[in-house]
Amino acid sequence: MIQLEHIDYDYQGIPALRDITYTFEMGRCYCLEGPNGCGKSTLFRILNGLAFPARGRYVLDSDAITEKRLRDDTFAKAFHAKIGYVFQNAEVQLFCKSVEDEIAFGLFQLGLPEGEIEERVEKYIRQLNLASLRKRTPYNLSGGEKKRVALAAVLAMDPPILMFDEPLSGLDEDGQCWITDFIRALKSTGKLIIISTHNRRLAGQLADVHVRMNKDHRIICP
Ligand SMILES: Nc1ncnc2c1ncn2[C@@H]1O[C@H](COP(=O)(O)OP(=O)(O)O)[C@@H](O)[C@H]1O
Ligand SMILES: [Mg+2]
């Protein structure tokens, strides 16, 4: 469970989040909706420990998540194992020399035994239809293919929480339908899913709970 209490965030004086108080519960699919620039990606960065709020508290499963605590390797490892984050632009999260190495990378970080890593790599190559691309360099793949690789790498780690930042961005119509169906299927797995989108149709198709933000960087109370 994720609890946010009165979070503010600014980029050198530019406001990005204001007084964000919200609780995300396991097993539900939340769509974080709002116009460009309202702060959705910033909130995702905070939830993933990539940015830290100037004010307020972020509590994950009763642990306060702070910059100081994430400097502890054991704590950081346990934290990162809990949350899978698929970036808006998949490119920024792909850096290995082949698709299969990309999927294996996070599993090595988790310290899993080699046999388990091989099994999971095969499973997610199959699930995301990546067999013909497995030896390719992720860097040279199409936008849709990169998205599938990023998803495979994140899902292989089997995190209880999954976040998708603007999952339709950069995809053609077929790719958009595919990812919408894929996320819909993930909803039956009991994970907490948070999707950021400015696309009302996508939110309508997937959300159990709509979380609306406004241009003043606040969550609008329903
Ligand atoms: N790296 C940055 N430096 C300065 N301002 C930023 C940066 N990233 C985002 N912002 C600003 O913070 C606000 C929130 O941005 P963002 O979280 O990306 O919104 P969204 O994802 O909802 O489009 C916007 O006004 C944006 O211009
Ligand atoms: Mg964004």
- 1-28 pLDDT per residue, tens: 999 999 999 999 999 999 999 999 999 9
User: What is the pLDDT, as a whole number, of residue 221?
Assistant: 75
Residue identifier of the C-alpha nearest atom 2 of ligand 1 = 11
Q: What is the pLDDT of residues 112-166, one digit of tens each?
A: 999 999 999 999 999 999 999 999 999 999 988 999 999 999 999 999 999 999 9
Reported residue count of the chain is: 222
Q: Is the CB of 13 under 6 A from ligand 1?
A: no
In CATH, what number does 2-220 get?
3.40.50.300
Atom of ligand 1 minimally distant from the CA of 45 = 17
- The per-residue pLDDT of the chain, averaged, comes to 94
Mean predicted confidence (pLDDT) in 109-114: 92
- CA 40 to each of CA 26, 78, 126, 129: distance values in angstroms, whole numbers, following the listed order: 20, 24, 32, 30
